[in-house]
Amino acid sequence: MPSGATADEMLLGFDRKREHRLLVVMPLFDEASKMRRQIVETMRILDQSSVDCFCPDLPGCNESPALHAKQSFSGWRDAAASAAAHVQATHVLGVRSGCLVAPRDLPGWAYEPVKPRSVLSRLARAGQISAREANQAVTANELIARGCKEGVTLAGWSFGPDLVNELAANESNTSPHHLPITQEEIGGSPLWLRAEPSFDPAQAQALAAMIVDRIDLP
Partner 1 sequence: MTAGTATAEPTGPSRSAIDTTLRAILRDVLALEESQVEAFDANTGLFGHLPELDSMAVAGLFTEMEDRLDIVIDDDDVDGEMLETYGGLLAFAEAKTVES
Among 25, 27, 30, 204, binds partner 1 (CB under 8 A): 30
Residues 67-96 that bind partner 1 (CB under 8 A): none
- CA–CA separation, 34 and 187 (whole Å): 17
**Long-range CB pairs of 3-10, under 8 A, 24+ apart, other chains included:** 3/78, 7/59, 7/66, 7/79, 7/82, 8/65, 9/56, 9/57, 9/58, 9/59, 9/63, 9/64, 9/66, 9/79, 9/83, 10/56, 10/57, 10/62, 10/63, 10/64
Under rule CB under 8 A, residue 118 binds partner 1: yes
CB closer to partner 1, 49 vs 153 = 153
Strands 157-159 and 152-154: antiparallel
Q: Where does residue 11 rank: exposed (0-12), middle (13-18), buried (19+ CB within 10 A)?
A: middle
Instruction: Looking at the chain, list the stretches that DSSP marks H as alpha helix, in order from N- to C-terminal side.
Output: 30-48, 73-87, 116-133, 140-150, 161-169, 183-186, 201-214
- CA–CA separation, 153 and 135 (whole Å): 17
Residues 131-170 that bind partner 1 (CB under 8 A): 132-133, 139-141, 155
Among 194, 201, 202, 213, binds partner 1 (CB under 8 A): 194
- CA–CA separation, 77 and 71 (whole Å): 11
Under rule CB under 8 A, residue 115 binds partner 1: no
CB of 127 vs partner 1, minimal distance in Å? 8
CB of 90 vs partner 1, minimal distance in Å? 34
Which DSSP letter does residue 191 get? G
Among 128, 173, 175, 203, binds partner 1 (CB under 8 A): 128
Q: Applying CB under 8 A, what is the total number of residues that bind partner 1?
A: 24
Under rule CB under 8 A, residue 189 binds partner 1: yes
Under rule CB under 8 A, residue 179 binds partner 1: no
CB closer to partner 1, 165 vs 198 = 198
CB of 146 vs partner 1, minimal distance in Å? 14
Under rule CB under 8 A, residue 112 binds partner 1: no
Give the CA count within 13 Å in the CB-facing half-sphere of 48.
Answer: 9
Among 10, 85, 169, 193, binds partner 1 (CB under 8 A): 193
CB closer to partner 1, 63 vs 133 = 133
CB of 106 vs partner 1, minimal distance in Å? 29
C-alpha 136 chain-centroid distance: 31
Binding site for partner 1 (CB under 8 A): 30, 118, 121-123, 125-130, 132-133, 139-141, 155, 189-190, 193-196, 198
